[in-house]
A and B are shown apart, each in its own frame.
Chain A
Amino acid sequence: MIDFGSFKARDCGGSTRRSFLRTAATIPLAMSAGLPTPEAIAEAKSRAKAKSVILLWLWGGPSHIDLVDPKPDASMDYRGPFGTINTQTTGMRFTELLPRMAARSDKFSVIRSMVNSNNGHPGAGTVGLTGFEESPGPVQPNFGAIVSKHRGQTGSLPPFFYVGRGIPRDLPTRIEGYGGGTLGKAFDPFLVSASDRGEVSIPTLKMMPNMSPGRISDRRQLLTQLDEERYRLDAAKVEEWGHKYQSAYGLLTSAEARAAFDLTQESAKTRSSYGRSTFGQGCLLARRLAEAGVPYVQVNWSEYVETFTPGGDWGWDTHIYNFELLQDRHGPIFDRAYSALLDDMTERGLMEDTLLITMGEFGRTPRISNRAAREHWNQCYFSIWAGAGVTPGRVIGQSDPKGERPVSRPITPLMAGTTIAELAGVGAQQRAEMKVLDGGSVIDELF
């Protein structure tokens, strides 16, 4: 079932390929300047090792010690309550919260020496997703925006998707580095969400409450409504509006997009393998988008970092209940969804040319707090890499015996972003032309 804004797409039978073409001809591209030509897109895609990139963004700061970098020999005030289990990778143990991933560790590599220069959520999130700190002007672009600009849009699907409930944020502040940044809002992600039952929705279109299945094929009605929306916005937002709604409308009338969003086309076995969670179904949607040729998909674990707060949607920011939440909710959901995605992509032959990365903005304090939980910790955390030529079954980097700091070469988000860009075909010259990822280097240990 697909929920396009405020209605269910499955009930909509009036949309045709012809209507899309007519509309595409009458609605001008909002931001045609700077977009690559079809020839350039084809060339960029042919150079890319990773035809698609999927980033699983564990927003809030997952504990490295309680998941993939346990310290069973540390003292009790560090190691935490979880036992450890063997993995398929020599010398690597996980906690007992990730048994499925442990059984599949020969298909991915884990970096245990990540560091972030920032220790607060919005700031660290911007560093984690752009490689750079926030700045007074526009921030550096999200890695997805860089790939999006280089690879461009083919077909009706936007080149950069966010899968999740909203732009990542904490209670007071939205993350700055979520989108196009210095490249412009044309390269912002297109937001789509999946419920725990696999119902896909486009939050952007919820601004149009009168949209109905019958009206979607009525071009005049739709254009009138879109114009009304335009007048409601101030001039500064018109550009953003144009991009968003052009993309949204293209999706509404595209059979290709409808097919990519329709999780009911998957077998019941496949859908259930990902688990009954928004993250799990979001991972399945990401796989379908990658399969449809979308260059970059970021699956957000949650919209809010806050894990236990009214209105919060269970982010990884476990200042309280760290051990209970990881054991009751986060660990099992993540373990199941990640493993299902890995299996599914492997079975479909997608791992050859799809890069799958998992990380958050930082880890959590190795020393257990006086609230029996863990706080922010940017000086050592983890990321997980698979596909697109990454050598699997490796532990890259090492943390000290308490998990406080790397004892090997620190790996930064800038290095992660540079590696992503390189694999996605955005070479050094293109990066220099875009003025992005300046000074970044590839994580050679992954290959």
Chain B
Amino acid sequence: MNCFERRTSNTQHSTSNNRTSMFDVECSMFDGRIGVVLLAVFLFASADAHAAEPVRLTTDGSLKRDPRFVENGTKLAYCYDEGPDLVRMLQMKMEDRSITPVFEDAGNRHNLEPSWSLDGKWIAYTQCTGNLTARLVIHNRADNADAFITHAGRGGTRSPTFSPDSKTVVYAFAETGPQQLWSVDTAGKNKKQLTECSGITNWPTFTPDGKTIVFANSRENNYEIYSVSIDGSNERRLTENTIMDIRPRVSPDGKRIAFVSTRDGNYEVYVMNIDGSGVQRITKSEERDDYPAWHPNGKQLVTVSERDGEFDLYLFDVESTQLALGN
């Protein structure tokens, strides 16, 4: 928990105490047992309502995407619209909320969808290199060297993510038909296609043991979320409805998956168990909530949420939010 969160929690606790005192006095005028019951109900509801309030991490309101906690949760990387024609990658130091570019010399190319390896040595991201062309970049932080992964013709890589052993990057690309998952090692060698699916495949994410990949695919009329062993066996469909379920992100303990769905009318963030059971809603707004990413503590999620037309990063406490929403 950082300083801002502690401050918020203390304030909320104080407010709850004040309300409790007032309520106590009023209840003493009635039957004591009723008062105790009502008091308990009030305290429960009040505490949940406060705990469900997310922490707003940014206030600039620019269009944002792709948040990722990195370096053991001490930093939060994300992308934002620096102008009407440029997407930049930034990183926020969680300790003091200071924000700096991920790369000082990024030039005028769109850089997006950053992913950090768990060992902290590599950053993979998608870089626009020309008209209708984007490549995967794997940046070696120690050597400040880049490996560029390209495919023939125009097109663009999507959604790179590292395997838990930090040796492989899995990403999405459409080379000669439906968009598939590909893998490449951190040196940019041994590129190979992993899937052969119909429909659009995107947003790969590993379980912590590295044995399973969770992803979304559109073969069943719309995006659904699936899991599959890395050898291609045991594919399992985890969601089933008539609208999109996208951007799955496996929790650090491997037990849950955060994802985005429009099942309740607009983009909202949900969490389900790793087998697809127990879907619970995390956000509830008439505006957009998108791009969930787990904090390494496994208890919090950061999202890009639109509020009053402004796009900012918000930190949600998963458990208390679930309670507050009646999940």
Contact = CB atoms under 8 A, between A and B. Distances in A.
A371 B155 contact: yes
A328 B65 contact: yes
Contacts of B63: 196, 276-277, 329
Interface string A370-383: 11110000000000
Interface string B305-316: 010111100000
B309 A81 contact: no
Given A81-B244, A309-B130, A99 B308 contact: no
Given A196-B62, A306-B132, A276 B311 contact: yes
A60 to B, nearest CB: 12
Interface in B247-287: 262, 265-267
Contacts of A320: 132-134, 154-156
B85 A96 contact: no
A6 interface: no
A151 interface: no
Contacts of B310: 272, 276
A319 interface: yes
B198 interface: yes
A272 B309 contact: yes
Given A320-B132, A370-B174, A76 B156 contact: no
A264 to B, nearest CB: 15
A370 B178 CA distance: 7
Given A79-B221, A81-B223, A327 B244 contact: yes
B218 interface: yes
Contacts of B219: 76
B40 interface: no
A91 interface: no
A136 B131 CA distance: 29
B154 A99 contact: no
B199 A196 contact: no
A447 to B, nearest CB: 33
Nearest to A307: B132
B132 to A, nearest CB: 5
Given A99-B265, A196-B81, A320-B132, A83 B177 contact: no
B132 A309 contact: yes
A306 B200 contact: no
Contact of B156 (A268, A276, A308, A311): A308
Contact of B84 (A72, A84, A278, A310): A278
Contact of B154 (A276, A319, A329): A319
A323 interface: yes
B262 A96 contact: yes
A310 B244 contact: no
| Interface residues on chain A, size class | 35 or more
A293 interface: no
Contacts of A276: 61-63, 306, 309-311
B106 to A, nearest CB: 11
A372 B132 contact: no
B246 A310 contact: no
Task: Give the interface SS of chain B, mostly helix, strand, loop or mixed.
Answer: loop
Task: Give the interface SS of chain A, mostly helix, strand, loop or mixed.
Answer: loop
A14 interface: no
B177 A370 contact: yes
B176 interface: yes
B15 interface: no
A275 B287 CA distance: 10
Given A328-B65, A370-B176, A323 B132 contact: no
Interface string B222-239: 110000000000000000
B202 interface: yes
B85 A171 contact: no
Contacts of A64: none
Given A271-B309, A272-B308, A309-B130, A96 B243 contact: yes
A321 B110 CA distance: 14
B80 to A, nearest CB: 11
Contacts of A274: 309
Nearest to A277: B63
Contacts of A370: 174-177
Interface in A262-321: 268-269, 271-278, 280, 306, 308-314, 319-321
19 contacts: A76-B199, A76-B218, A81-B218, A81-B222, A81-B244, A83-B221, A84-B242, A96-B243, A96-B244, A195-B84, A268-B308, A276-B310, A312-B85, A327-B244, A327-B246, A332-B288, A332-B306, A370-B174, A370-B175
* A-B complex: 6 closest residue pairs judged by Cβ atoms: A81-B218, A372-B174, A272-B309, A83-B243, A372-B179, A83-B222
Given A196-B62, A370-B177, 4 more contacts: A81-B218, A196-B81, A308-B131, A310-B129
